[in-house]
Structure 1
Amino acid sequence: MSTLTPAVTPEDTPAPPTKNRPSALANAKSMLSSRVATVIAIVIAVLWTIPTAGLLITSFRKPLDINRSGWWTVLQNPSFTLDNYRLALGSGTSSLADEFVNSIVITIPAVLLPILLATLAAYAFAWMDFKGRNLLFVAVFTMQIVPIQVTMIPLLSLYVNTLHLNGTFWSVWLSHTIFALPLAVFLMHNFIKEIPAELVEAARVDGAGHVRIFFRVMLPLLTPALAAFGIFQFLWVWNDLLVSLVFLGGSPEFRPITVAISELAGTRGSAWFLLSAGAFIAMVVPVVVFLSLQRYFVRGLLAGGLKG
């Protein structure tokens, strides 16, 4: 009597043993951690830092030394002074102290306003069901395509003829908020959408409404994302020249430090000692902000999902 043997399917046959090959991720990791990659990174960092180092050294040199030789010869005859910074931050026509304060007054509201509005709008797009939600979100997203330069003349006409805000801080605050909202809404929406629905449903079961869910559940989880976008917006507004020139060009009492330095370069282009000191003063604040908040910046870039 013959016995029947079950048919062997290809799925049942064991795969032949294969050698362990390094994955693409392992190859990329080994290449990035190699000595060649380290040397290339060091060279790029040095080349990137040279202009900043030259600007810093020039800002401490005497005007006569700046006109006679380059900053790279400073070790041959080291002579430094703080008079450039005293003149830039002191009183007089060359002072940049008022413009420095104006930059702070402009930057802080121009960062907080789009963050607040974008976070509220992103929560509505992610967790509130209303008619035309997807169409409106696509419309907000496509606004990123519109160049800022195209909107300058219409906004300027609106501020001058209708709202009478030209030459005031409000014109710059509103303009930076308008320009930042499309990207901010898109980024915040992606972060909020990744929050597990179970958290929102649990809050609703406990009787929480949209306001309490937003402030008690969403905001604590969005802190890294808010910090990351806040750094981007701060650097953009602080270093801005075009928006301030267009909307604050005729109001010297409201102009930021970037406009003052650009005008100083045009009227006193030979005063390198004053330009270098003013430029480095304008550079210090963004560098300090970025270095002090870089851990939040990295967490914000890696945020967007939760692991239970």
Structure 2
Amino acid sequence: MEGMAGTRSRLVWAVNLAALLLVLLWTIPTLGLLISSFRDRDQISASGWWKAALPAEQNVIFRAPPPETAVPEGAAWVLDGNVFGEGGGSVAAFGLSAREPKAFAPGDTATGRAGDTLTVAGDGAFRITYPQAPEAGRGDRIFVTTTTPPRLTLENYETVIVAQGLGRAFLNTFTVTIPATVIPILIAAFAAYALAWMRFPGRALILACIVGLLVVPLQMTLIPLLRLHNAIGLDKGYLGIWLAHTAFGLPMAVYLLRNYIAGLPREIIESARVDGATDFEIFRRIVLPLSFPALASFAIFQFLWVWNDLLVATVFLGNAPDQLVMTGVLRELLGSLGGEWEILAASAFVSISMPLLVFFGLQRYLVRGLLAGSVKGG
């Protein structure tokens, strides 16, 4: 017995560690995306998101003004300026060549090949001194290693929501997702109750057809369904995409809810019928309240699927600017702003924020509804 108890304890620890590892694998990238969405382009290019709380070090090549702009000062000619221009920053080191960009500390004096000297202060102010009047030409290159204090900004979110049209796409996605989640739940709940507790000819055949529809690839139905929409006058609009998402989500919804409803205590249903309750009253007053975990489980899956959908939205809604959903906008941003990671990070996190809220808000019903719907039958 002691050996069995010890083995079980080790198994519990192994399961807990594995679950913790899976949680970390899912959470760490999301955390990195969130932090990156508040950083600007220079910070993202200078350091990883895990160093967001530390000063960022970056190598910058600054081109000094032309030598002929130097002004005489005593026997020498002097050229003053600031490597940061009107902005601010801190210089960690500087150099005269790409091979040694950190050869000198702030405040040191570096001597060039022509005898000119360069001094760069910690605040970026530099002073170039020429022993004689310099000839006209290009300004000297100054290799500067800067340190920028950590800074978080909301400018990325302002850009994607206002300038990039993600705010309008967010509303469009809501307009598509809410009805496309509610409509199949309503239809599937009625159908599931009928298949679970009502007796009528062909019930088993209907259930078999529903199970068979679960394995039909969505992509095979797009062209026939689009032709049907065009034949009956449903142009690309919200009504068409609501019906499409309803059709694609109904088989899973009916199957899941039917298994759950069929597992409800038979005594409750029969007692209600003895008391004279109709099927609609039993469904509304008994079945629906008891089936809330299964309804919430399907609502999570349907919401996440419709919210993250791109293919169905492209086929049945179109690509007009006033019709684009968030996945469509993200696709265009990825093509036009592929190098601006701060904009893409903010856009991606705006896109996943609502699914995260829905999942964490209803997660307590998810496992209970799925387990009950998978092991019970009638």
The TM-score bracket by the shorter chain reads 0.7 to 0.9
Superposition TM-score, scaled by structure 1 size: 0.84
Gaps of 5+ in 1: 1-18
The superposition leaves residues 185-238 of structure 1 with CA deviations (integer Å, 9 ceiling, x where unpaired) of 111111111122222221122211111111012111101111111111111111
Instruction: Specify the alignment match of 1:66 in structure 2.
Output: 44
The superposition leaves residues 27-74 of structure 1 with CA deviations (integer Å, 9 ceiling, x where unpaired) of 88534422x444443333323323212211211111233344433443
Task: Choose between structure 1 and 2: higher helix proportion.
Answer: 1
* Partner in structure 1 of residue 357 of structure 2: 288
1:123 aligns with 2:101: no
Q: Secondary structure at the match of 1:303?
A: helix
Please tell me whether residue 76 in structure 1 is matched to residue 55 in structure 2. yes
Alignment CA distance shift 1:245-1:122 (3 Å): same
Out of 28, 36, 54, the position equivalent to 2:32 is 54
Equivalent of residue 163 in structure 1, options 232, 237, 242: 232
Match of 2:22 in 1: 44
Aligned match of 1:222: 291
Distance 1:193 1:29 in 2: 35
Change (3 A) 1:135 1:301: closer
Partner AA of 2:224 in structure 1: P
The CA distance in 2 between the partners of 1:220 and 1:32, in whole Å, is 37
3-state SS, counterpart of residue 46 of structure 1: helix
Structure 1 residue 150 and structure 2 residue 242: aligned? no
Aligned equivalents of 2:330, 2:10: Cα separation in 1: 43
2:260 alignment counterpart = 191
CA contact under 8 A between 1:123 and 1:214: conserved in structure 2? yes
CA distance in 2, matches of 1:28, 1:218: 43
SS for the counterpart of 1:142 is: helix
- C-alpha distance in 1 between matches for 2:157 and 2:270: 57
Contact 1:56 1:280 in 2 (8 A): yes
* Equivalent in 157, 160, 180 of residue 88 of structure 1: 160
State the match for 2:184 in structure 1. 114
* Distance across 1 between alignment mates of 2:10 and 2:320: 54
**Equivalence for 1:105:** 175
Q: TM-score, normalised by structure 2?
A: 0.69
Which has more radius of gyration? 2
Structure 2: 5+ residue stretches without partners: 57-149
Contact 2:36 2:342 in 1 (8 A): yes
- Equivalent runs, 1:262-277 vs 2, <5 Å: 262-277=331-346
Separation in structure 2 between the aligned mates of residue 41 and residue 274 of structure 1, nearest angstrom? 32
Mean Cα displacement is larger for which, 297-306 or 94-103?
297-306
Alignment-mate amino acid for residue 56 of structure 1: L
Partners of 1:303 and 1:31 in 2: CA distance: 29
Deviates more, 1:126-135 or 1:275-284: 126-135
Residues 255-298 of structure 1, C-alpha deviations (whole Å, 9 max, x = no match): 21111111111122222221110100011111111111111223
Specify the code of the residue in structure 2 equivalent to 1:43.
Answer: L
- Structure richer in strand, relative to its length: 2
Q: Counterpart of 2:253 in structure 1: which amino acid?
A: A
Percent sequence identity over aligned pairs: 48
- CA–CA distance in 2 between the matches of 1:251 and 1:163? 22
Alignment match of 1:178 (pick from 247, 257, 269): 247
Counterpart of 1:133 in structure 2 is: 203
- CA 1:133–1:156 in structure 2 vs 1: closer, same or farther (change >3 Å)? same
Query: Does the 8 Å contact 2:293/2:365 carry over to 1?
Result: yes
Structure 1 residue 21, shift from structure 2 partner: 8.6
Question: How far 1:120 sits from its partner (Å)?
Answer: 0.6
Q: Which has the higher contact order (CA 8 A, sep 6+)?
A: 1
Work out the CA distance in 1 between the residues paired with 2:338 and 2:38. 18
Quick one: distance in 2 between partners of 1:179 and 1:220?
25
Instruction: Look up the match of 1:5.
Output: none
In 2, the alpha carbon distance for the partners of 1:133 and 1:38 equals 44
Q: 2:133 — aligned with what?
A: none
